[in-house]
Amino acid sequence: MKKHFTFLFLLFVAISFAQIQKVEPAFWWHGMKNPDLQILVYGKDISKYQVELSDNIKVKDLTKTENPNYVFITINTDEVQKPSFKINFKNGKKTVDSYTYELKNRKPGSAERNSFSSKDVMYLIMPDRFANGDPSNDSQPNLTEKVNRSLPSGRHGGDLRGIINNLDYLQNLGVTALWLTPANEDNEKNTSYHGYAQTDLYKIDGRYGTNEEYVELSRKLQQRGMMLVQDYVTNHWGISHWLIQDLPTKDWIHQFKDGEGKFGFKRSNYRTTSQFDTNVSEIDKQEALNGWFDTTMPDLNQSNPLVLKYLTQNAIWWIEYAELGGLRVDTYPYNDKVAMTKWAKAITDEYPKFNIVGEAWMYNPAHISYWQKDSKIGAIDGYNSNLPSVMDFTLFTDLPNALKEEESWDKGMIKIYNSFGNDFLYPDISNILVFFENHDTERFNEIFKGDVRYYKMAISLIATVRGIPQIYYGSEIGMRGDKNKGGDADIRRDFPGGWKGDSQNAFNPKTQTLEQKEFHDYTQKLLNWRKGKEVVHTGKTKHYMPKEKVYVYFRYNDNDKVMVIINNNEKDQTFNLDRFAESLNGVSKGKDVISGKEFSISPQNKITVSGKSSLILELQK
């Protein structure tokens, strides 16, 4: 009886005094440009205790909310001279719990790190669908959804180790930056593989691996002259996120009085033009920005200073911890735009060379350019996003249509020409992401039924126009998938050879099919050529109005010149070069970067280009 009583007493003491359950961020660094650090401490009724820091460190600000389980402690890290200090929670003179907080030393040169630019080629990977390098982590006891590769929308087991194991393949292909869809924990009940309903922003999903493996991937990329780009989500979290399940404040997320369920769910109307529409009604604007992206994705309220600080520090923590080379931000126009201006500025103030590309999925170039830093369009209403880069959804939309439509006044190849005619809208035209597909869109090779000729024309274009080319995993081997029939899962198929027992391995050029090899070899040659071509990275563009389904443009600087010809005819096309005289001044020959074939190039000559093909010529005197 006495033993039983003693056990119950000790259990009561443990429950009463083991207050701290979470501290975020768990550690930080000395020497940040902004020395202010906000530390979230979570535990049952934690706010009823007094906070005292060791070593006479001052609490700059202490915020308690309507939820007694939270305390937000702000300190000035410049005032902390030691590598660690204690956060003590006291009941009178008695310390009931404490946490040892570490301030690490930054890696030399961290603040001046380089980031992705027009010199790079970005390769987009869905980790769950690329390669399974460690089958032992496929399912986790503490994570709800288990691996089921037979279920198209289920977890398939791809992981960080699978990516690490295939870095030779990626480097040889010619890509220099890896964009992974979110790898943080997504512990939703189903369809969690995409990662956009995150449930822990400081932890890599256990089915992908560990935080340490994420850092390992980043460092191994750096050793190869490559970099890791994190997919960051500021607009929403997963409904199972621990902070959502026990909200620090009611307005941490957007809740509607006439909404559904526990949190007042109402779906967004997705009309993000409301961000700058001078005629917009307030109700439409609020439903666009505050409405949820989906039923399991509560919409975050970035205008709440605690939320904004949490998101800002979390992004900086990953940049510093994982030595990131950039961020891609999901659903950018759905956020509070004033708050996001502060978010982007805080990051780029800390890392002046750091690049962040925002997904502004709009089709009008004026609407897209609004979101780029120093935009002339944004300046009309006094807005500056501080967001360095945006995605060229106009080109994404126009490119497949241009290649499949019959020519007319406003259809066919003229769409590409007109797309580039809007370049004046962008304050930094070299710093926009150009692509023809991603993880949310129809597979390009599906649109053209696996016809490699169309792929070659498309990859030739995005690899040689202004901006940062981005390709989607598997395109380079001809992967297909029908979104209209199979949904998102069908455009996110497993990369062949990424799983033990796969019938065929496309990672090894020796075991690629003839069809895969044609896609792959063309991509590899083109992207590796592009690496050393400054004229393509930063040169000017001069293009010529398409005639008879042929589009011609030049990339040039003071030292170099490249001519690109895209022939969308079924038949070979022969034409005079005199029309391009202003761009061919002083040129006598051109060398095809793919075949090595040389052409006599001058305004007096003709050239023949094969049907449904591209010709990329390095021009010489």
CA 253 vs. chain centroid, Å, equals 23
Q: Please state, in angstroms and as integers, the Cα–Cα distance from residue 471 to each residue in 123, 209, 459, following that order.
A: 5, 24, 8
Q: Greatest CA separation found in the chain?
A: 107
List CB contacts of 150: < 8 A, sequence separation 6 or more: none
In angstroms and rounded to an integer, the radius of gyration of the C-alpha atoms of the chain is 27
- Of the candidates 233, 432, 253, the one whose C-alpha atom is nearest the C-alpha of residue 315 is 233
Helix axes 452-464, 514-530, angle to 10 degrees: 10
Q: Please state, in angstroms and as integers, the Cα–Cα distance from residue 56 to each residue in 30, 59, 86, 116, 173, following that order.
A: 17, 9, 10, 42, 55
DSSP H helices, 323-451, are 337-350, 365-369, 376-379, 393-404, 414-420, 444-447
- Of the candidates 478, 473, 465, the one whose C-alpha atom is nearest the C-alpha of residue 434 is 465
CB count within 10 Å of CB 436 equals 28
**Is the omega angle on the peptide bond into residue 25 within 30 degrees of 0, that is, cis?**
yes
The region that residue 238 occupies, defined by phi over 0 for left and psi between -120 and 50 for alpha, beta otherwise, is beta
Backbone φ and ψ for 247, nearest 5 degrees, come out as: -60, 130
Known catalytic residue at 359: yes
Catalytic residue among 97, 186, 213, 330: 330
Residue 171 burial (10 A CB sphere; 0-12, 13-18, 19+)? middle
CB count within 10 Å of CB 506 equals 23
CB count within 10 Å of CB 305 equals 13
d(CA 14, CA 11): 5
DSSP annotation of 210:
-
d(CA 227, CA 179): 9
Residue 559 burial (10 A CB sphere; 0-12, 13-18, 19+)? exposed
DSSP annotation of 236:
B
Residue in this structure with the two tokens 């500056």, named with its chain if needed = 384
Catalytic residue among 185, 186, 205, 359: 359
Which residues are known to be catalytic?
A: 330, 359
